Structure 1
Amino acid sequence: MSSTFSKPEADRLQKYLQDKFSNPKIALVARKEAKDSAEVTLGGEFIGVVYKDEDEGEVSYDFNMAILAMDLPADA
């Protein structure tokens, strides 16, 4: 079952991601259409979506980041 992000919860998750990836430029941005997820940006550039899931009282978050093959560095 999905659940809505609260502002304090999004702030805590943003801080966690910033600390985990050692990057203060990571930010969570509310989505207008979907209240159970937030856009993840890095320096203002969209990099993915984090989803909130609540099941039997347990809350978890799923970070989804698509990487296009054309964005990968050339073979060495």
Structure 2
Amino acid sequence: MSATLSTSEIARLQTALRRLLGAKDLTVNPAPRSGMSVELAVNGEVIGTIHRDDEDGDVSYAVNMVVLEEDLPPAK
């Protein structure tokens, strides 16, 4: 079951993901509209979403990141 992320959770996730991924330009942005997921962005470009799961009293966060083929370097 997905739940809305609080402002505090967003800030904590941003800190943890920046440290984990070594990406100081990574931001976790509040959901653009009610009922939507928060957005994961790098240099202002949204690259994915983060979903909160609090089923059975255990809280976890799932990151869904999208990489478009057109953004990949040419194949060798």
TM-score with structure 2 setting the length = 0.89
* Separation in 2, partners of 1:46, 1:2: 20
**Counterparts of residues 1-76 of structure 1 (less than 5 Å):** 1-31=1-31, 32-34=33-35, 37-76=37-76
Kindly report structure 1 stretches of 4+ aligned residues shifted beyond 2 Å: none
Q: Report how many residues are paired.
A: 75
| Counterpart residue identity of residue 34, structure 2 | E
Question: What are structure 2's unaligned runs of at least 5 residues?
Answer: none
Question: SS of the residue aligned with 1:56?
Answer: helix
CA RMSD of aligned residues (A): 1.2
TM-score with structure 1 setting the length = 0.89
Per-residue CA deviation, residues 10-64 of structure 1 (Å, 9 max, x unaligned), is 10001000001111111111111325x3101101111110111111101111101
* Separation in 1, partners of 2:21, 2:35: 25
Offset, 1:70: 1.8
The structure whose residues are more often helix, as a share, is 2
